[in-house]
Structure formats: structure tokens, C-alpha cells
Amino acid sequence: MTTYQETRPSAAAKPVRWAADAVAMMREGARLRLDYSAQSLWRVDRMIEGIRKEGTPYAAVESVLRGFGAYAGEVIARQSGAEWWATGGDHWLRTPDGKLWDPIDEARRTFAGDGGSLRLLCRDAARGAVRR
């Protein structure tokens, strides 16, 4: 029997690791458990907003935001059957309906206060997607 991880395309390797790092960081540092559910993205959005409100410079949280975005991408992948795609160091998700989504950039937009939301991105990406 193969595990979920072993059946993933190679483009998923880095985002899966970044997501796992974010889960560990939240568990150990903030004492929050992330369970790869769509509901958990509400907590991630609030965490990002809190970091922004503290006035933390982007350079100090760039890798944290990447981890949060990858975590949101993993939530989307697990809910909708989306797959990670990578080109030139950038990572996107492709949902079964053929649409491309960029949860890592959405985490950056959330931090910038540009109306981004990982919870809403997940809702939109999973809407109408058929689970494989």
C-alpha cells in the first residue's frame, strides 16, 4: 500500500515540506493545532493579520508566509484533488477543473492587507471541484 505522500507528483515535495513546517511551527510556537481542514484556514488568516498588525517587516516573515500558503495549498489539494505544479521556483495548484491557484501569493496578499484570504481562496478553489 502506498501512502498519500508517495503518490504525489514531484512538484509537491517542497510545498508539502513547507506546509508541515508551518504546522509544526504553529503547534510548538503558538500552541495552535492545524489539521488540514478548511476551518483551520480561518486561524491562519487571523495569525497572518496579527503579524501584519504588529508591523513585522515582510523580509522577517517571508518564509512563514510561504509555509502558510503551502499549508493552504495542501488543504485545497486534500479537499479537491488538486495537484501542485512548479515552474521556475514558483508553485501553484491545479484543480481538477483546470484552474490554477496560487496560495503562496495569497498568503502574501493577506499579509499586505490587499484583501487576501486563504480561507476564501480554499472555498473558491474547492467550489465545484470533484474529488478524485
- In the predicted structure, residue 7 carries a pLDDT above the cut 90: no
State residue 11's pLDDT score. 78
The answer to whether residues 59 and 111 touch, using CB atoms and an 8 Å cutoff, is no
More confident residue, 42 or 7: 42
Q: pTM to 2 decimals?
A: 0.87
pLDDT band at 5 (very low <50, low <70, confident <90, very high): very low
Measured CA to CA, the distance from residue 93 to residue 48 in angstroms comes to 21
**Per residue in 85-127, pLDDT tens?**
998 889 999 999 999 999 999 999 999 998 899 999 999 998 8
pLDDT band at 29 (very low <50, low <70, confident <90, very high): confident
The set of residues, in sequence order, having a beta carbon less than 8 Å from that of 28 and lying 6+ positions away, is none
State residue 128's pLDDT score. 56
